[in-house]
Structure 1
Amino acid sequence: MNAVTAGLPTKAAKIRALDKQGFKRADIARFLGIRYQHVRNTLVRPTAAHPNSATGASKQDAFAMHPDADAFTCISVDAEGRLVLPETFRRLMKIGDDGQLIARIDEDGELRLISPRAAIDKVRRMIAENSFGTGSPVDQLIAERRAEALRDEAEALQHAARS
């Protein structure tokens, strides 16, 4: 397993590489020191959302790679501070008829603009990517703890039988 994962930058990349080599999900989880559910979610999640996917692009790169979008476009600011965004940008940013944008300044002074619709889509993607599957996380935790207790009990019985 060490040879397969050597040089891979992320846990997700390691999980996918080990899965490709035919290792079981439980073995991958133990090897990487993570939960089985993490391995499962990584393997069942659509790979198009990952930089390591077959397309080599993440959803965040979709805007930059869009055929209508220029990598850089100069936008003028008039004396009253108004910007005029090209139609292509307005369409790709999902700016509605109201023209509303959410703006913030990053630590490095970069202005970030996002439409409310794009912000909602972004949150939905984040939730979907971090989903814990079906069922209640509490029920999953209880089931995992019970399984651990059974394993510990079995190990204790084996140890007692050897003594």
Structure 2
Amino acid sequence: MLHESIRPGSEKARIWQICDELFAERGVIPTGREVADIYVSEGGNEGTGFTQYSHWKKALAEEQATGAGKTVDPIEPGSVDFRALNVTADGALLLPADIRRAMALDKDGRVTVQVRDGELVVISPMAAVRRLQKKAQELGPGSRLASDELIAERRAEALRE
């Protein structure tokens, strides 16, 4: 995905190449830390690694949103049955594509985790938003907003004074 504006052999080109390779290899966006660590191990500057990683990530997001005339459909969480996965010795857990789709996991791969009684609970931001939207719908359109109630109380107090 190296763009024409990048000078071949430049620091920027190398960092973007690292990003592209990790992304192609794993199918998920690498973290800035991973990219910077690789770049630093090759003698590069950590700050430059993080800066160019953020530029690469922004360019990737723009390309994915506008690329090939595709429109982005809202992501809806789904379900996948239990299955065995392996956790590597360093604690990494690779989630297959169908599980990532069911989690409504966006391209940046961010999740929130919790351990409840030894069980790992992982939720994507989109799944959390959908959960909150569902709870809000359960309140129903007839529900009054707390802010409206507060304003009404304050006006009543002002009239009494």
Query: TM-score, with normalisation over the residues of structure 2?
Result: 0.40
The TM-score with structure 1 as length reference comes to 0.39
